[in-house]
Amino acid sequence: MSLNAKRWLEEIRKLPLARRVRIMNVCGGHERAITMAGLRGALPSNIELIPGPGCPVCICPEEDVYEAIQLALHEDITLVAFGDMLRVPVNVPKREVRSLEQAKAAGADIRPIASPIEAVRLAQAQPQRTVVFFAAGFETTTAPVAAMLQESVPGNLLLLLSGRLTWPAVAALLDSGQVAFDALVAPGHVSTVMGPEEWNFVVEKHHIPAAVAGFTPVSLLAAIYSTLRQLLEGKRFLDNCYPEVVRPGGNASARAQLAATMDVVDANWRGVGVIPQSGFALKPRFAAHDARLRFPSYADASRRRAGQMPAGCQCADVVLGKIYPNECRIYGNACTPRHPIGPCMVSDEGACRIWWSAGTRTSKVAHA
Amino acid sequence: MCLGIPMQVKEINGFMARCEAGGVEREVSLFMLAENTVQAGDYVIVHVGYAIQKITAQEARSAWELYDDMLRLDGELADETPMVPIGQLLRDNGGR
Ligand code: SF4
């Protein structure tokens, strides 16, 4: 990979692409790098780069966020969560508390953290008090949680685990036949932890070119070039355009720690539904640390729009790559980072938030 | 929270390491790299306070440059809660 970004662009422009090619990425970090580097504008116009299911905050089940809010409001606990989760709205009537941030303002003991290490330290510092760690995230975040469990976890630290796996969402998308993409840029750090082999099914089962990419324009362009060459030459293989970091088999210690602490189960994705074998659940030996077992369930399935995206928000379509962020009707007017309607505008990994930050300020959909 | 940040290892104490990026230092766990040998001076990618992989100095540098570019873009374009660059990201979030 000695070519620089400009040379990669030249190589891509030389390719005789006769038709439109849709390339999906499934990582908020990729979408951020693509958007911030302006790759869409630099590439030939018949190459479409589509953001897919790459934002764990966006698909974190609405009922899990609701449960975290209710726990913090009604139980005598400290609730810690990654900062991104605090502003995610749930679907409740107007006068009710609709986010962890609002629950905090209402007096609940809620603290944003940046690392499982902070959750451990906080629990150690107040051994008499129960600390609940609302742990949402993909493999790259859930593996550190597994490491924390494996190393040592204080008795008063409980987990409300909402970990998710990325590849089953792509598998579900491909199996549904609903979203057509011609090539996949596979996530760099998920592959670093879990191993690139997880993505072989895209090539082997669906005959779609795929390449693992890192987070620099050079690595992303190399991956795009690789998938285009595969398409043109009728070859299919999983390329690795981030070989310095992504090694065969991934991070063996991390995978062993995940396997020792968690089971893989069917799991709900907000606005999307249940995806088979796409979630992490604590192993029975960690039952004493499971907040869902310790506390009565505050889940209320009869709530209006429970589990769904907020009314009027098209995050589910954005997450599944069915529409671009600015194809949402309320993008940039009712929904902005300051007044987010949906989680895709809240999270740093949400495609709506990323596009806004890169300067796309209005919806493409005409407003009558 | 899914963003991996390259950091340089400054000092190791058991499974904990003091790491630095963009002039900001953080405590980072090396527990996920149990099978690798990491030494002071090495570079690692850090996710939510845990090193997930060793990387080369060059790989770290190009990632840092990318974040700097984002800072410039954000400074010019974003007038509301802009996304933040590496140093500030670490200052705000403790290295996730
Ligand atoms: S612009 Fe806002 S409401 Fe529309 S899909 Fe994005 S987050 Fe949801």
At B69 the pLDDT is 59
What b-and-e string marks burial along A291-313, b requiring 16 or more CB atoms within 10 Å of the CB?
bbebbeeebeeebeebbbbbeeb
CA distance A361 to A357: 9
| pTM for the model | 0.91
Decide if A55 contacts A238 (C-beta within 8 A).
no
Residue owning tokens 């966020």: A65
At A77 the pLDDT is 98
What value does the mean pLDDT take over residues A240-254? 94
Contact with chain A for residue B88, Cβ under 8 A? no
Choose one of A333, A345, A347, A361 to mutate for the ligand 1 pocket test, by most ligand atoms within 8 angstroms of C-beta: A345
Q: With a cut of 70, say whether residue A355 has pLDDT above it.
A: yes
At B70 the pLDDT is 57
What value does the mean pLDDT take over residues A142-154? 97
- The confidence band for B58, taking pLDDT boundaries of 50, 70 and 90, is confident
Choose one of A58, A331, A363 to mutate for the ligand 1 pocket test, by most ligand atoms within 8 angstroms of C-beta: A331
Q: With a cut of 50, say whether residue A110 has pLDDT above it.
A: yes
Domain ranges of chain A: 1-292+306-357
Q: With a cut of 70, say whether residue A1 has pLDDT above it.
A: no
Phi first, then psi: give them for residue A214, nearest 5 degrees. Answer: -90, -155
Q: With a cut of 50, say whether residue B84 has pLDDT above it.
A: no
CA nearest ligand 1 atom 1, residue: A331
Find the residue in A nearest to B74 (Cα): A357
Q: Is the CB of A320 under 6 A from ligand 1?
A: no
Strand pairing class (B5-13; B16-21):
antiparallel
At A102 the pLDDT is 97
Find the residue in B nearest to A33 (Cα): B66
| ipTM here | 0.91
CA distance A44 to A15: 10
For A51, the token pair is: 């953001």
What stretch of H or E contains A298? none
Domain covering A1-292+306-357 in this structure, CATH number: 3.40.50.11740
**Percentage of chain A modeled with pLDDT above 70:** 98
Which residue in the set A114, A147, A188 is minimally distant from B31, CB to CB? A147
The tens digit of pLDDT for each residue in A291-328 reads 999 998 888 878 888 899 999 999 999 999 999 999 99
At B62 the pLDDT is 76
Angle at CA of residue B95, ends B90 and B96, nearest 5°: 120
What value does the mean pLDDT take over residues A129-141? 97
Going by C-alpha positions, the residue among A146, A120, A149, A189 that lies closest to residue A280 is A146
Residues of chain B with Cβ-Cβ distance to A214 below 8 Å are 59, 63
Cβ contacts below 8 Å, chain A against chain B, sum to: 155
Q: With a cut of 50, say whether residue B78 has pLDDT above it.
A: no
- The confidence band for B63, taking pLDDT boundaries of 50, 70 and 90, is confident
At A298 the pLDDT is 87
Q: Which residues 87-126 of A have a C-beta within 8 angstroms of B?
A: 113-118
What value does the mean pLDDT take over residues A94-111? 96
Decide if A254 contacts B36 (C-beta within 8 A).
no
**Percentage of chain A modeled with pLDDT above 90:** 87
CA nearest ligand 1 atom 7, residue: A342
CA distance A345 to A171: 25
Helices A28-36, A217-233: axis angle to 10 degrees equals 100
Q: With a cut of 80, say whether residue A242 has pLDDT above it.
A: yes
All structural domains of chain B, each given as residue ranges with its CATH number in brackets, are 5-93 (2.30.30.140)
CA distance B4 to A161: 21
Residues of chain B with Cβ-Cβ distance to A83 below 8 Å are 1, 93
Q: With a cut of 70, say whether residue A87 has pLDDT above it.
A: yes
Ligand 1 midpoint to CA A325 (Å): 7
Q: With a cut of 80, say whether residue A124 has pLDDT above it.
A: yes
Residues of chain B with Cβ-Cβ distance to A217 below 8 Å are 66
